[in-house]
Structure 1
Amino acid sequence: MSYFSRLTDIVTCNLTHLLDNAADPVKEIEQIIAEMKEGLAGANRSVKTATANEQTIQKELQEHQQQIFHWKEAAKNALATGDEAEARNSLVRKQEIEDLMAGLEQQHQAAVATCEHLTTTLHALQARLAEAKRKQLELTEKAGLSETSSQATIETPDEDPTLAPSRSEQIESELAALKRELGQ
């Protein structure tokens, strides 16, 4: 049986309710965790793709900014040599690139928003998975299963190592702020 049809189902699920209605909660939580891991893997891929898209658009904006500078300089040079027609042509090209950049800037804003949304969803999925793993540990201890078999399942690394450092840095920063607040 599949519990989750969308990533939002994972974020909004009530694990206690799902497990209260299960015939074998230990097996059910294992299946739930497996599905959560699949969802988390997909979310990781989506964040990577969105980040790459945002970076591509950012690079393209920078290239166009350089072209705008080039055409403006070309217009200045043409005017300095007395070629007003060439200066006008250069300014037309500059204006075309500025128009293109306006559209790209909107795309870039949308890409940034998408990336932020997907990252927030990813963090919510990671939190829900951590909750499920705690619940699994609780259930396996309650069922009297061996600690080694439950630990193997619970401590499996699921986070993308490229995303985890920013999360741990955020936690360390928050911990330092709390220490300062408490005067430690």
Structure 2
Amino acid sequence: MSYFSRLTDIVTCNLTHLLNNAEDPVKEIEQIISEMKEGIAGANRSVKTASANEQAIQQELADYESQIFQWKEAAKNALGMGDETEARNSLVRKQEVEDLKAGLEQQHRAAVATCEHLTTTLHALEARLAEARRKQVELTEQTGLSETSAQSTSNTTDAESSLNPSRSEQIDSELAELKRELGQ
């Protein structure tokens, strides 16, 4: 049985409700976690693709900026040599590149927004997975399953959270800020 048809289903799911209706909650939480991991893997790929697209557009914008500078210099050189027609042609080409750049800037803004949206969704998915793992530990403790099973789940959570250093840095920064507020 598949619980999630979309990534938003993972973010909006009510784990307690899903597990209360399950015949075997321990088995069900394992299935839910497995599906969440698949969703996160897909979200990671999407974030990487969106980031690569944004960077490619950024590079193309830099190339256009360089071309604009070159056409302006060509116009100056043509004028310096007394060739107003060539200067005008260079400025026409400069304007064409500026128009291309303006269109690409809109695409870049959209790419940045997409990347930010996907990253936010990825973080929400990771948070939901962490919640599911905590629920799994609760269930294994309630059903009296071996402590090693719960311990391995906890170790997996710690290991995977260390894979995302930016999140860890954010948490460390926020913790330091709270300590400052409390005067510690």
TM range (shorter): over 0.9
Structure 2: gaps (5+ residues): none
**Identity value in percent:** 80
SS of the aligned residue for 2:23 comes to coil
Find out whether 1:105 has 2:105 as its counterpart. yes
Q: Secondary structure at the match of 1:138?
A: helix
In 2, Cα distance between equivalents of 1:93 and 1:171? 50
Q: Say if 2:137 and 2:153, in contact at 8 Å, map to a contact too.
A: no
8 A Cα contact 2:162 2:168, kept in partner: no
Partner residue in 1 for 2:36: 36
One-letter amino acid of the counterpart of residue 145, structure 1: L
CA distance in 1, matches of 2:33, 2:153: 9
Moved more, 172-181 or 96-105: 172-181
Separation of aligned partners in 1, 2:145 and 2:71: 72
Q: Tell me the equivalent position of 1:96.
A: 96
**Partner amino acid, structure 2, of 1:142:** Q
**Are 1:138 and 2:142 an aligned pair?**
no
Question: Is 1:150 matched up with 2:150?
Answer: yes
* Structure-1 separation of matches of 2:133 and 2:25: 13
Gaps of 5+ in 1: none
TM-superposed CA distance for 1:155, in Å, is 3.2
CA distance in 2, matches of 1:159, 1:89: 57
The letter of the residue matching 1:71 is W
Amino acid at match of 2:33: I
Q: CA deviation at 1:152?
A: 2.6
Shift, 1:149, TM fit: 2.2
Corresponding residue of 2:65: 65
- Runs of 4+ aligned residues of structure 1 deviating over 6 Å after TM superposition are none
Matched residue, 1:51: 51
Give SS of 1:171's match.
helix
Q: Report the CA distance between 1:151 and its aligned residue.
A: 2.8
> Could you tell me how far apart the structure 1 residues matched to 2:98 and 2:86 are?
18
State the Cα distance separating 1:178 from its structure 2 match.
Answer: 1.1
The AA in structure 2 aligned to 1:33 is I
Normalization by structure 1: what TM-score? 0.95
Deviations 1:56-93 (A, max 9, x none): 00000011001100100110111011010110111011
Cα 1:37/1:154, change in 2 over 3 Å: farther
Q: Secondary structure at the match of 1:82?
A: coil
**What's the counterpart of residue 177 of structure 2?**
177
Distance in 2 separating the partners of 1:113 and 1:160: 26
Pick closer, same or farther for the CA change 1:154–1:176 going to 2, 3 Å: closer
Number of residue equivalences: 182
Deviations 1:85-142 (A, max 9, x none): 1101110110000000011000000000000000000000000000000000000000
1:136/1:154 contact within 8 Å kept: no
CA separation of 1:160 and 1:86: change in aligned 2, threshold 3 A = farther
Q: CA deviation at 1:145?
A: 0.4
**Aligned residues of 1:44 and 1:160 also touching (Cα < 8 A):** no
- Range that drifts further, 6-15 or 169-178: 169-178
- Does the 8 A contact of 1:26 with 1:136 survive in 2? yes
